[in-house]
Amino acid sequence: MSVNKDLPISLNLDLSGLNCPLPILKTKKKLGDMQSGQLISVTSTDSGSYNDFKYFCEHTGHELISREQRESKFYFIIKKK
């Protein structure tokens, strides 16, 4: 999966510097304020987030549109269910 910059992102969330579980918790809170179908772009530096966001989406029903690692950063696009 790679990040598609042409997608209509509703919110960009930079969580760089935060460690587990904060990236997931902060993303979950923001998703709660969004409409179904909207997209959120998340950036994280927590190495565990690459798998954490995959599992989070599988368990909550949100769609993980893309996930990508570039050097020490992880990029995700999630579609709210």
Q: Which residues are catalytic?
A: 20
Count of helix runs (H) and strand runs (E) in the chain? 2, 4
User: Cα-flanking dihedrals φ and ψ of residue 19, to 5°?
Assistant: -105, 165
User: Cα-flanking dihedrals φ and ψ of residue 49, to 5°?
Assistant: -65, -25
